[in-house]
Amino acid sequence: MTADDLLLLIERQTANYRELAELSSRQTSGAWDPDALLAHARAKAAVMGRVDAAERELAPVKDGWEGLLAALPEERRPEVSLRMRSMRDVLARVIELEEANQAGMERRMVEIKAELDRTARARIIQRTYGPKTSPENRFVDREQ
């Protein structure tokens, strides 16, 4: 694999990670609308398909990184190393944003559960102590 081939793969994967970071960043900004979350999930799935494809191409490179780097022309090594570090930095940002999203969703889930519990308790209290909807029985047995 030439340095140009490797740089192309790294740039493609970095672009995928940047797109994921952008999607994750928009989700973090507070979009709790179910339709928006579904759209984000679909967009992320599409990007993840591209990430997986690029990852399959990069796997041999990552496994033999030191050997491959040593095989490259010396003048290209710093550039390739820098781009690889840049890709790792973007990936670290994606992971950070996804963890923040996960924590936010978990907090939101707890808030919704508490709200549902309050609503359920209010209904029980209303049924128990509130006025009856009908002062008389709706159905009366009559002898004929």
pLDDT of residue 138: 64
Q: Is residue 112 part of a domain?
A: no
Range in 33-37, 81-85, 110-114 with the lowest mean pLDDT: 33-37
HSE on the CB side for 65, CA within 13 Å?
9
Helix, strand, coil % (nearest 5) of the chain? 80, 0, 20
- pTM of the entire predicted model: 0.72
Mean pLDDT of the chain: 86
**Can you say whether the dihedral through the CA atoms of 54, 59, 62, 68 is positive or negative?**
negative
pLDDT of residue 104: 86
Q: How sure is the predictor about 66, in pLDDT bands with cuts at 50, 70 and 90?
A: confident
Provide the domain count of the chain. Answer: 1
C-beta separation of 68 from 80 below 8 A: no
Tell me which residue range forms the domain holding 75: 3-100
Q: Is residue 44 part of a domain?
A: yes
**pLDDT > 70: what percent of the chain?**
88
Q: Is residue 107 part of a domain?
A: no
What average pLDDT does the segment 65-75 reach? Answer: 85
In 10 A of CB 47, how many CB atoms? 19
Q: How sure is the predictor about 136, in pLDDT bands with cuts at 50, 70 and 90?
A: low
C-beta separation of 69 from 80 below 8 A: yes
